[in-house]
Amino acid sequence: MTLLQVADLTVRHHGPHGPVTAVDGVSLEIPAGRTLGLVGESGSGKSSLARALVGLSPVHSGRVLLDGRAAGGRTLRARRRLGRRVQVVFQDPDTALDPRMTVRQTLAEAATAFRRLDRPARAERVAGLLDLVGLDPQLAGRLPRQLSGGQRQRVAIARALAVEPALLIADEITSALDVSVQAAVLNTIRDLQRRLGLAMLFIGHNLPAVCHVSDAVAVMYRGRIVESAPTADLLRAPRHPYTRALLAAVPGLPPAPPPPDAAPLPLAAAEAAAPAGGCRFAALCPVGPARHAERTVCTERDPQPGAAERPHRAACHFPPDPDTPGPFRPGPDTPEDERS
Ligand SMILES: Nc1ncnc2c1ncn2[C@@H]1O[C@H](COP(=O)(O)OP(=O)(O)O)[C@@H](O)[C@H]1O
Ligand SMILES: [Mg+2]
């Protein structure tokens, strides 16, 4: 059974300038034991989506089903059930860990959140968790400030795993770490997937890193999923021009404008950024009307992800022919971060 099903989810924040639609009609699925990567630049709505899944962002409309049942619910019971099944690790472990608690205390507290463990069982569980995330048992007595950034993030991961969740949401968990440490943490993630059969939503802005740990990848752009596919297919034949741009890391690609209702842009600029009903990428798109004047459909009609092409879907009126090589040439199979 599909562990997580998200259907037509819209998340709307109440910002200082009015409502901000951070997630706009997103649908996705994560089967048990599988990892979906979610990639997109800063501000595309990744964290809003992740947080909505655990009740931390305001869901405006749409459905979230966990184990086939509605995941929402404000009752204590509903929240506990959600907390037991889904755990989140965020980018910044400093804010996530209690600075006054040792690693041992943090992990023991989490391990006993949903079940009773006697003293020896608790100690054994803490040792097992440290081992899972590749931390030296000697570190159990330390406080967060006595650990490195990478070690702190491993503690945060271990704490999330302590409740044995079915789904782990990892939101930019390596983004604040040094490159060499990132690689090691990514390898730990792969190890956890194998050992625990854990399902994950792995969020990041670095496409190779996300692909490295994901069975399938969804590409997010300004609140929408513009392309989703099994990882190998996405790398071999990316269909959305935005995905191709990400893969090619085109140096000149300007950052995306904020969502249309995020800031009081001058009207003309707002319209250019988000043509009413059109594709959000149109103004910047290399295959869109900026280069091909006759392609007015891009600014007139919102492209829908092609249901017929499942599991590889791209929301584009003029998806590049998958057989013509894009700007991206897949290199040898091993991403850079395989080194450690
Ligand atoms: N609590 C909030 N209040 C108002 N606006 C928010 C809030 N959180 C996020 N946003 C806005 O929603 C959009 C998406 O942000 P976010 O989900 O953090 O994206 P990402 O994680 O991809 O960087 C941005 O325009 C951001 O400014
Ligand atoms: Mg974020």
**Tens-place pLDDT, residues 174-232:** 999 998 899 999 999 999 999 999 999 999 998 989 999 999 999 999 999 999 999 99
- Our mutation pick for probing the ligand 1 site, out of 9, 10, 11, 13, counting the most ligand atoms within 8 A of Cβ, is 13
Q: Say yes or no: domain 2-221 is CATH 3.40.50.300.
A: yes
Confidence at residue 117, expressed as pLDDT on a 0 to 100 scale? 93
- Our mutation pick for probing the ligand 1 site, out of 41, 46, 48, 169, counting the most ligand atoms within 8 A of Cβ, is 48
* Across 119-128, 291-300, 320-329, least confident range: 320-329
* Ligand 1, atom 26: closest residue by C-alpha: 43
On the question of pLDDT at 319 being above 80, the answer is: yes
Residue of 281, 274, 275 whose CA lies nearest to 318: 281
Which of the two residues, 261 and 29, has the higher pLDDT score? 29
Q: In the predicted model, what is the mean pLDDT of the chain?
A: 86
Separation of CA 71 and ligand 1 centre (Å) = 22
Report the percent of the chain where pLDDT is more than 70: 85
Q: Give residue-wise pLDDT tens across range 92-148.
A: 877 889 999 999 999 999 999 988 999 999 999 999 999 999 999 999 999 999 999
The most confident of 85-99, 237-251, 259-273, by mean pLDDT? 85-99
Which of the two residues, 163 and 305, has the higher pLDDT score? 163
Domain ranges (residues) in the chain:
2-221
* Ligand 1, atom 9: closest residue by C-alpha: 48
In terms of C-beta density within 10 A (0-12 exposed, 13-18 middle, 19 or more buried), how is residue 32 classed?
Answer: middle
- Please list the residues that pair with 306 across neighbouring strands: none
Confidence at residue 93, expressed as pLDDT on a 0 to 100 scale? 77
CB 188 less than 6 A from any atom of ligand 1: no
Report the percent of the chain where pLDDT is more than 90: 64
pLDDT band at 267 (very low <50, low <70, confident <90, very high): very low
Alpha-carbon torsion angle 173, 179, 183, 189, nearest 10 = -10
Asked if residue 89 lies in contact with residue 165, where contact means CB atoms within 8 angstroms, the answer is no
Which of the two residues, 279 and 319, has the higher pLDDT score? 279
